[in-house]
Structure 1
Amino acid sequence: MTDTVAAGLPVTVESDGTPVLELIESRRAELRAALVEHGGLLLRGFDVGGVDGFDRVVRALSGEPLTYTERSSPRHSIKGRVYTSTDYPPEEEIFLHNENSYQAGWPLTLFFYCIQPPGTQGATPLADVRQVYRNIDPEIRAEFERRRWMLVRNFHADFGTPWQQVFNTDDRDEVAGYCAANGIEAEWIGRNGLRTRTVRDAVHRRPGSDVPRWFNHATFFHVSTLAKDLQEALLAMFGEDGLPTNTYYGDGEPIPADVMDHLRAAYRAASVRFDYRTDDVLVVDNMTAAHGREPFTGPRRIAVAMAEPYRPDSRRDPIEQQEQ
């Protein structure tokens, strides 16, 4: 199937009084097709029924929600496999990215539930990564397709998310086994430090589509994407080799500053936003739309869930498995 960038991201489905689960049951195939075509659905005006109701929406549309593994940001479980959105300070922007694109596998579908909207800003901006791909200079794209990209992570005992939490174990052998099975090079540093290196493709194609998508964390994790004061503080504390996260070309060579500027501009040019309302449910096709977070004021309570695991080297499409 050949797809093109569809107008309207996200597609808004307004309540007509039909309960949300009844709507999904009667229009599930239509909703899923629109999600894949456009990259996002906004279910608005429904009485979702709190976190428990949100969990039922996830299951009705996409099946059982996933556990958050190999995590790269702080968040905690609200209930079961429904989590808080990233627990970063409200004044910080979270740059556009595709969930878990640095891993060997990732969820195809993401869900965001607005329990309480922020006072100002706080949107979840979206960018169609088919358009991001088109926005990038062909020579830069070709360089990444040839060389791929590398993520280097350093886990420090007294800073950031510890490796025990990232890998959900304190057993080094289990970590080594997980890394070996998922294409991650692990190096133990000192008594309790860990450095990992991962090389991944920068461009992917979604199951059922031959359209290329800019699907990676090369921009998100690059030190230059951080706020200037945070960049300087981290470099002063750890040096480049010890940064909690940083990215390179797949051969380990630095990515030039002008290339990083160009990539960030490509995302921003494709970005769209909307203001949350209470009980909004935003559904995102993770291989079609990148997402981020604006800075905000006020409380802003957004619950998240992930579903439909996909791994490119698996033999069967998980969506097809669910539909059978």
Structure 2
Amino acid sequence: MTATQALSVLVEGDGEPVTDRIRRDRSRLRDLLTAHGAILLRGFEVGGVDGFDRTVRELSGTPLTYSERSSPRSVIKGNVYTSTDYPPQEEIFLHNENSYQAAWPLTLYFHCVEPPTSQGATPLASTRAVYAAIDSSVREEFERRGWMVVRNYGDEFGMPWQEAFNTNDRAKAVEYCAGNGVVAEWVGENHLRTRAVRAAVHRHPVTKAPVWFNHATFFHITTLPEEVGAGLLEMCGEENLPSNTYYGDGGRIPDDVAEHLRTCYRAASVRFDYRRDDVLVVDNMLASHGREPFTGPRRIAVAMAEPSNA
């Protein structure tokens, strides 16, 4: 597949249970997902949260627990979660789920329980197209130096470490970090700072194609709205920002480089309007995803599956 081919493909049903179609056509659906990066299952009976859970299991196996969290979500049932609980007027920039971790979900699922009144799409961008669009000197710099994410967890800013690591035990949080390539530092009684250095470019485990797979742009302070970023810097100082990114050796990523990367993501972005009971399946290494601002209810259930480190 070239970077210019369709990113997602529509698979339409006639009201039958989506799990029936998956059982009958699983191999083809998996091939379509790998070829395009995303598939949209539309016109099927899903069957609520339990049916959505069965859908994930039928196509990918057991849904994963959301660990080392970077955004607020609520559990709907089991390992089915709400989409990110950010205010509806805010955009969520394109990213690949958990790319800052040592291992990540290879496949993501989005179920439209209630569509928004306007906007509210889950835009997608091909990581192959983004990789191809990045200036070669910028790409080579990241390939040589890697990228680093610095995160701060505390009571007054960011996400509490207890929520991020699914534990109230400081020792267990540090143990998790040690086992997953994350350097943990306590800088206060309830203030945890972590650093992790990751590769910016990976090869997809099936296609073997190089993909731009990282959070270097998403977590960079300049990707926030200007007034929000300025306010956080004034309130926290750079070292205490909830999250920020650097080159892997700790050097600053210049603001113009971050802007170039954002431009590449946006140029590769495509969108669709949700309909009730749509199920969007995304190969997390082949397609980054985001969220448009929206009006109306917009209830999207989310699940993750197939742990991978490529």
Please report the TM-score for the alignment, with normalisation by the length of structure 1: 0.94
Q: Aligned residue for 1:281?
A: 279
1:5 shift after superposition: 3.2
Report the counterpart of residue 147 of structure 2 in structure 1: 149
Q: Which sits farther off after the overlay, 186-195 or 167-176?
A: 167-176
- Work out which of the residue numbers 12, 16, 19 in structure 1 matches 2:17: 19
Shift of 1:6: 6.3
Deviations 1:10-33 (A, max 9, x none): 200111344311110110000001
Contact (CA 8 Å) 1:127, 1:271: kept in 2 or not?
A: yes
**CA deviation profile, 1:150-188 (whole Å, cap 9, x unmatched):** 000011222332001111112222122111111111110
Other-structure match for 2:204: 206
CA–CA separation in structure 2 for the residues paired with 1:179 and 1:243: 19
**Structure 2 residue aligned with 1:255:** 253
Counterpart CA distance in 2 for 1:249 and 1:261 is: 15
- Flag structure 1 segments of 5+ consecutive residues without an equivalent: 313-324
Q: Secondary structure at the match of 1:142?
A: helix
Match of 2:37 among 36, 39, 59: 39
Write the distance in 2 (CA, Å) between the matches of 1:105 and 1:19: 32
User: 1:257-287 CA distances to partner (integer Å, 9 max, x unpaired)?
Assistant: 1101100000001000000000000000001
Question: What is the CA–CA distance in structure 2 between the aligned matches of 1:273 and 1:292, rounded to whole Å?
Answer: 10
Q: Distance in 2 between matches of 1:9 and 1:101?
A: 20
Cα drift, residue 255 of structure 1: 0.5
Letter in 2 for 1:83: Y
Partner SS for 1:99: coil
Instruction: Report Cα offsets for 1:172-205 as digits up to 9, x if no partner.
Output: 2212211111111111012111110000000001
Say which is worse superposed, 140-149 or 19-28, in terms of deviation: 19-28
Partner of 2:126: 128
Alpha-carbon distance in 2 for matches of 1:136, 1:153:
26
Question: Does structure 1 retain, via aligned residues, the 8 Å contact 2:3–2:132?
Answer: no
Match of 1:236 in 2: 234
**Is the 8 Å Cα contact of residues 159 and 242 (structure 2) preserved in structure 1?**
no
Please list, as runs of the form range in 1=range in 2, the aligned pairs for 1:1-324 lying within 5 A after superposition: 3-5=1-3, 7-312=5-310
Q: In the TM superposition, what whole-angstrom CA distance separates every residue of 1:82-115 from its partner, at most 9, and x where no partner exists?
A: 0000000000000000000000000010000000
Whole-angstrom distance in 2 between the partners of 1:268 and 1:291: 11
1:171 counterpart letter in structure 2: D
SS at match of 2:185: strand
Q: CA deviation at 1:7?
A: 2.3
Q: Aligned equivalents of 2:243 and 2:98: distance in 1?
A: 14
Asked if the contact 2:123/2:270 (under 8 Å) is kept, the reply is yes
In 1, distance between residues paired with 2:287 and 2:217? 15
Contact 1:130 1:288 in 2 (8 A): yes
CA distance in 1 between partners of 2:3 and 2:228 (Å): 35
Give the partner amino acid of 1:302: I
Maintained 8 Å contact 1:39/1:289: yes
1:131-168 C-alpha deviation (Å, 9 max, x unpaired): 00000001100000000000000112223320011111
Answer yes or no: is the 8 Å Cα contact 1:6–1:38 preserved in 2: no
- Aligned partner of residue 125 in structure 2, secondary structure: strand
TM-score normalized by the length of structure 2? 0.98
Equivalents in 1 of 2:4, 2:93: separation in Å? 23
**Number of aligned residues:** 310
In the alignment, the residues of structure 2 paired with residue 83 and residue 62 of structure 1 have an alpha-carbon distance, to the nearest angstrom, of 17
8 Å CA contact 2:70, 2:164 repeated in 1: yes
CA contact (8 A) 1:11 1:41 kept: yes
